[in-house]
Amino acid sequence: MRDVLRHHLFWPVAALVVLLVANTIARPGFLAVTVRDGHLFGAPVDILRTTAPLLLVALGMTLVIATRGIDLSVGAVVAVSGAVALSHIASSPNPDSPVTVLTAIALALVLCLLLGVWNGFLVSVLGIQPIIATLILMTAGRGVAMLITNGMITTVNSTPFKVLGSGFWLGLPAAAVLAFGVFAVVAFVVRRTALGMLLEATGINPAASRLSGVRSRTLTWTVYTASGLFAGLAGLLISADTMAADANNAGLFIELDAILAVVIGGTALSGGKFSLSGTLVGALVIATLERTVTVLGISPLVTPLFMALVVIAVTLLQSPRMRERLTARRRQVATPPGSRPAAGPGPTPGSTTDPTTDPTEVKA
């Protein structure tokens, strides 16, 4: 039981369960999934679909954060991606042709990849601090997206493209299949190869990693590129969702949601050890949270308040201090009677453990 309690996914999963239970109490049929025309329908399915773009962005964000970085530009990249794809489809004489759609997707992804390359260049080659380097694209990127759409909300009708938003594959929403599929592949690659460890080493001590022959710079560059690419993919899903490219609003604040997903999942923003499974749960928590607000009929006015409370609760419960409390209780049970219980349990804040990183982090 105690090991369960100390597992790094315990609190995020608990948060998810609490949210689902709350929804089910408010609405007993909440978890019901029905099959129609061989497709699954229902709130859980909706949640999977709405999680999809966030999951992709959070995936890239996790890798970037592992290298001690952060990518604030993902929201803008989402907007650019939709703008490029939909402008291409809209300007083509035959929006329903798969070739048009594939070209549009390819164009968008390549451009977003390049935007990622740009971020990576600023960070890894020019050595600009990530938060500022990506702030540049965060600002300019939306401008670029508007430039592409000429400030209009570009809308299209294209059956093959619409599949990305509301189509079904294998009975599940195509967007969810795509996002979870990409996530699984990346997670597999990162953890089954040495990539994860090398990223962590880069994030913890770039100088030592370089001397050990780790291509720190290339790795750093790569994660920003990946983040751009995943954000681009997310942008396609988001624009296909409404079949509109809204340069101003598409992906607005998604960077914050993604960072929150990463943090709720137990990855420290100070880089190093990261948990992709945590990010997955984190993204689900956020998507479910948004849904909960509507289902519980919580006034939209207090939505941010509700968000804040959940975030504070999860992060406090996950904080080193709270974990020590749990450890301390265990230790007290373990220590023989008569021995003096520790004054301040475990290492005090002044212990040699670096307070910015969580030593108990476990990787996925």
Partner 1 sequence: MTQQTAPPVVELTGISVEFPPVKALDGVDFSLHPGEIHALMGENGAGKSTLIKALTGIHSPTAGTIRVDGVERRFSGPADARAHGVSTVYQEVNLCENLTVAENIMLGAEPRVLGGLNWRAIRRQAATHLRRMGLDIDPSSSLGSHSLAVQQLVAICRATVGDCKVLILDEPTSSLDTDEVAHLFTVMRGLRDEGVAILFVSHFLDQVYEVSDRMTVLRNGTLVGEYVTADLPAAELVQHMIGRSMDVLEAAEEVLEQAERPAGATPLLGVVGLGRKGSVQPFDLDLYEGEVVGLAGLLGSGRTELARLLTGADRADVGQARVAGRPTRLRNPRAAMRHRIAYTSEDRKGEGVVDGLTVRENIVLALQAERGWMRPLPRKQVDELVARYIQQLGIRPADPEALLRNLSGGNQQKVVLARWLATAPRLLVLDEPTRGIDVGAKAEIQKLVAELAADGMSVVFISAELEEVLRISHRIAVLRDRRKVAEIDGNGATMDQVVDLIAGGGAA
Partner 2 sequence: MATSAPARTPRARRGLRLPTRLDRRYLPVLGTFVVLALMLVVGGTRYENFLTPAVISNLFINNAHLIVLAVGMTFVILTGGIDLSVGSVLALSTVITAALLQAGLPVAVVIPLAVLAGTVIGLAHGVMIHYFQVQPFVATLAGMFLARGLCFLIAPESIGIADPAFIELATWVQIFGQWRMTSSVLIALIVVGLGFLVLHFTRFGRTVYAIGGGEQSALLMGLPVARTKVLAYVVSGTFAGLGGLLFAMFSRSGYSLTGVGMELDAIAAVVIGGTLLTGGTGFVLGSVLGVLVLGLIQTIITFEGTLSSWWTKIVIGVLLLIFVLLQRVLSLRRT
Partner 3 sequence: GTQTGGGGETNAADDGVITLGFSQVGAESGWRAANTKSIQDTLTAENGFDLKFSDAQQKQENQIQAIRSYIAQQVDVIAFSPVVETGWDAVLQEAKDAGIPVILTDRAVDSSDETLYESFIGSDFVLEGEMAGQWAAEQYDGEGYQAVELQGTTGAAPAIDRKDGFESAIAGSDIEIIDSQTGNFTRAEGKTVMEGFLNAHDDIDLVFAHNDDMGLGAIEAIEAAGMTPGEDIKIITIDAVKDGMQALADGKINYIVECNPLLGPDLADITKKVLAGEEVEKRIVVKDEAFDQAAAKEALPTREY
Q: Which residues bind ligand ATP (CB under 6 A)?
A: 347, 351-353
Interface with partner 3 (CB under 8 A): 26-27, 30, 36, 39, 41, 43, 46, 49-50, 146, 151-153, 155, 165-166, 238, 241-244, 246-250, 290-291, 293-295, 297, 300-301
Q: Please choose which of partner 2, partner 1, ligand ATP, none residue 312 contacts, taking the beta carbon within 5 to 8 angstroms, the exact cut-off set by kind.
A: partner 2
CA atoms of 245 and 265, how far apart (whole Å): 30
* Least Å from the CB of residue 244 to ligand ATP: 55
Residue 153's H or E segment, with its range, is: none
Q: What residues does 147 pair with on adjacent strands?
A: none
How far is 260 from 249, CA to CA, in rounded Å?
A: 19
Contacts (CB under 8 A) with partner 1, residues 275-314: none
DSSP state of 274: -
**Among 191, 225, 229, CA closest to 78:** 229
Residues in region 150-209 near partner 2 by CB under 8 A: 151, 205-208
Question: Which SS3 state, helix, strand or coil, does residue 108 take?
Answer: helix
For the bound state, the minimum distance from the C-beta of residue 290 to partner 3, rounded and expressed in Å, comes to 7
- Which of partner 2, partner 1, partner 3, none has residue 293 at its interface (CB below 5 to 8 Å by kind)? partner 3
C-alpha dihedral over 118, 136, 109, 191, to 10 degrees? 70
Question: Residue 335 binds which entry of partner 3, ligand ATP, partner 2, none, with Cβ cut-offs from 5 to 8 Å by kind?
Answer: none
Say how far apart CA 178 and CA 56 lie, in whole Å.
9
Size of the chain, expressed as the number of residues it contains: 364
| Residue 332 interacts with which of partner 2, partner 3, ligand ATP, none, CB < 5 to 8 Å by class | none
Q: Which stretch binds partner 1 (CB under 8 A): 42-50, 83-91, 213-221, 279-287?
A: 213-221
**Residue written as tokens 């290298």?**
67
The separation between the first and the last C-alpha atoms of the chain, rounded to the nearest angstrom, is 20
Cα 21 to Cα 13: distance, rounded to the nearest angstrom: 12
92 or 303: CB nearest partner 2: 303
3-class secondary structure per residue, 56-94 = HHHHHHHHHHHCCCCCCCHHHHHHHHHHHHHHHHHHCCC
Residue 350 found at the interface with partner 2 (CB under 8 A): yes
* 321 binding partner 1? (CB under 8 A): no
Residue 333 binding: pick among partner 1, ligand ATP, partner 2, none (C-beta 5-8 Å cut-off by kind): none
The answer to whether the Cα torsion of 323, 10, 256, 106 is positive or negative is positive
Establish if 185 lies at the interface with partner 1 (CB under 8 A).
no
* Nearest residue to 59 (alpha-carbon basis) of 219, 280, 286, 288: 280
Please tell me whether residue 92 binds partner 2 under the rule CB under 8 A: no
**Site membership for partner 1, residue 195 (CB under 8 A):** yes
Spatial distance between the Cα atoms of 181 and 178, rounded to a whole number of angstroms? 5
The reply on whether position 128 binds partner 2 by CB under 8 A is yes
Q: Is 360 in the site for partner 2 (CB under 8 A)?
A: no
| Tokens standing for residue 112 | 């977003």
User: Near partner 1 by CB under 8 A, which window of 46-54, 224-232, 299-307, 341-349?
Assistant: 341-349
Task: Count CA atoms within 13 Å of residue 299 on its CB side.
Answer: 3
- Residues in contact with partner 2 by CB under 8 A are 68, 70, 122, 126-133, 135-147, 151, 205-208, 247, 256, 259-260, 263, 268-271, 301-309, 311-312, 315-316, 319-322, 349-350, 352, 354-356, 358
- Residues in contact with partner 1 by CB under 8 A are 192-195, 197-198, 200-201, 203-205, 207-215, 272-273, 327, 331, 335, 339-340, 342-344, 347-348, 350-354, 357, 359
